Amino acid sequence: MLFNNNIHLDSISSTNNFLLSLRKNNIFSEGLYVTTDFQENGKGQMNNSWESEKKNNLLISILIEPKISINNIFDINRLVCLSIFDLLKLYGINALIKWPNDIIINNRKIAGVLIENIFSNNIISHSIIGIGLNINQGKFLQYSPPATSMFLELINNFHTHQIKQQLLDIIEVRYKKLKIGYSDLNEYNNKLYLLEKSFRFMSNNKQFYGRIKTTLDNGTLVIYDESNGVEREFLNSELKYIF
Amino acid sequence: MLFNNNIHLDSISSTNNFLLSLRKNNIFSEGLYVTTDFQENGKGQMNNSWESEKKNNLLISILIEPKISINNIFDINRLVCLSIFDLLKLYGINALIKWPNDIIINNRKIAGVLIENIFSNNIISHSIIGIGLNINQGKFLQYSPPATSMFLELINNFHTHQIKQQLLDIIEVRYKKLKIGYSDLNEYNNKLYLLEKSFRFMSNNKQFYGRIKTTLDNGTLVIYDESNGVEREFLNSELKYIF
């Protein structure tokens, strides 16, 4: 097994930040992962907050050393999102991927991903993959989009430890495929949330209605802008979904 | 629960040394413990080696901050040895404590303890409690005394994870009692291996037959020397058992 070294903390402000803080330590190498029962001040991509009841959910940060070009930075994102998709599929849940890094079921968010990379000379030496997956939590504060959990979808409680192990196994398999050049771009595009549906987006403080067409290998999202009939391309931070 | 922060490593030369190496890190505080599936180069007290099959046994180092005087240094040793005794008792195994830091069943060693302390101004600020407990291992190399395991005693396999949790719970209870001044000296002395039995010891390269009488609060062992009828007192490194 690749993921054999684990740090489990009762409580920590951010598993990603904690993992990063070990950068100078000799355990900071591929296969180490950090879990916590409670994230005091969990962060999502772009400073969104992330709420989680103690021990009810999976909060994990995984360290890999992909050694790939920063041009392929989105490979890691696809790998992780598709791994969470695979995991939920194991439980009979059909999820979708809300580009770039949320996992959605029936318009509700069940998981979020935050990837932070260390690179030098255009090579990603380390990726810290933060995942928050709602497992047994039954109540959530108001979110946009609203939140859900495996419990709320299946009315069943789950062993977070077992789900963690399954997710790590799935990530390991996909990571090995990535390393031998397997492209999961089609897989990812087929699972896109809101694909070909008219939806309201915002970019540069201007709203527009558009339809998601696909993503490109580098992670760019292609949206057909219904207001002017033009296909527009977006990177992560340039686009908001307006729920 | 006190012991909530855990580092689990696939393989490490010594859990005690690894824990010590985290001394400058902010997770180095009471309640942290390190476990490993395999100790590459396990050490026992006084550079004795310690053999363990991968995943079959419990190899753990626990960090506490006792803040007690170095005059009470042996309190930690009693606490840990008696905790292992309690644990084995849960499983119906009646163990004895081979002063200063081995746990013995029928003249065979099932567990060893290695405690390393950090102190300043005569106060023990941190104790690193290393424990090796043989759980599911069925074969051992030649040892003196010979080794045994819970499996060999009960012909049953056990969940190391569950046993680890039970041991931590027991240690926590005893640690809380120690903090409020409970003395476990009598308990410890009642469970001494070879108590009042004639046995061969060695000190200063001279062998003698003697009978263990008791230990003192500071950990000193009192032996009645049969060759001259004198009670002699020994500290840890001054005495060897001759099997």
The reported pLDDT for the residue numbered A46 is 45
* A89 and A183 assigned to the same domain: yes
Q: Token match 């029928």: residue?
A: B106
**Could you give the CA distance from residue B202 to residue A211 in angstroms, rounded to a whole number?**
85
User: Could you give the 3-state DSSP secondary structure of residue B161?
Assistant: helix
What interface predicted TM-score (ipTM) does this complex get? 0.82
Facing residue for A4 by CB, picked from B5, B10, B25: B10
Whether residue B110 sits in one domain with residue B71: yes
Q: Are residues A177 and A206 part of one domain?
A: no
pLDDT band at B49 (very low <50, low <70, confident <90, very high): low
Q: Both A28 and A53 in a single domain?
A: yes
Helix (H, G, I), strand (E, B) or coil at A109: strand
Query: Domain check: are B175 and B82 in the same one?
Result: yes
pLDDT level of residue B20 (50, 70, 90 thresholds): very high
Same domain as A169, residue A52: yes
Boundary of a domain, candidates A172, A190, A208: A190
| A120 and A139 both lie in a single domain | yes
Same domain for A180 and A225, yes or no, is: no
The domain spanning residue B89 has which CATH number? 3.30.930.10
B181 and B231 co-located in one domain: no
B5 Cα to chain A: minimum distance (Å): 4
Residue B46 has pLDDT above 50, yes or no: no
pLDDT score for B13: 87
**Domain boundary residue, one of A164, A190, A216:** A190
Which of B8, B24, B36 is the mutation pick for testing A, counting most A CBs within 10 A? B8
Pair A34, A141 in one domain: yes
B27 contacts A4? CB cut-off 8 A? no
User: Cis bond leading into A146, ω under 30°?
Assistant: no
For residue B185, pLDDT beyond 60? yes
Dihedral angle sign, alpha carbons of residues A133, A20, A38, A140: negative
Instruction: Mark out chain A residues that contact chain B at CB-CB < 8 A.
Output: 4-11, 18, 21-22, 25-27, 31, 37
Structurally, chain A folds into a number of domains equal to 2
Work out the pLDDT band at B147, boundaries 50, 70, 90. very high
Question: Which domain range does residue B221 map to?
Answer: 198-241
For chain B, list residues whose CB is within 8 angstroms of any CB belonging to chain A: 4-10, 21-22, 25-27, 31, 37
Do both B18 and B136 map to the same domain?
yes
pLDDT of res. B48: 52
Q: Domain boundary at A147, A174, A190, which?
A: A190
The pLDDT profile of chain A, 243 residues, written as one tens digit per residue, is 899 999 999 988 899 999 999 998 889 999 999 999 988 765 554 445 556 778 899 999 999 999 999 999 999 999 999 999 999 999 999 999 999 999 999 999 999 999 999 999 999 999 999 999 999 999 987 777 899 999 999 999 999 999 999 999 999 999 999 999 999 999 999 999 999 999 999 999 999 999 999 999 999 999 999 999 999 999 988 899 998
- Asked if residue B139 has pLDDT above 50, the reply is yes
Listed residue (B152, B114, B155) closest to B132, CA to CA: B114
The predicted structure's pLDDT at residue A144: 77
The C-alpha angle B51, B3, B27, rounded to 5 degrees, equals 90
Q: A207 - beta bridge partners?
A: A202
**CATH number for the domain including B212?**
2.30.30.100
| pLDDT for residue A50 | 54
Tell whether the model's pLDDT for residue B6 goes beyond 80: yes
What integer pLDDT is reported at residue A55 of this predicted model?
85
pLDDT at A44: 53
User: Residue B144 has what pLDDT?
Assistant: 76
Q: Please give the average per-residue pLDDT across B9-21, as a whole number.
A: 92
**Helix (H/G/I), strand (E/B), else coil: B174:** helix
Contact call for B8 and A8, based on CB within 8 A? yes
Residues A51 and A152 in one domain: yes
Summarize pLDDT for A55-95 with one digit per residue, the tens: 899 999 999 999 999 999 999 999 999 999 999 999 999 99
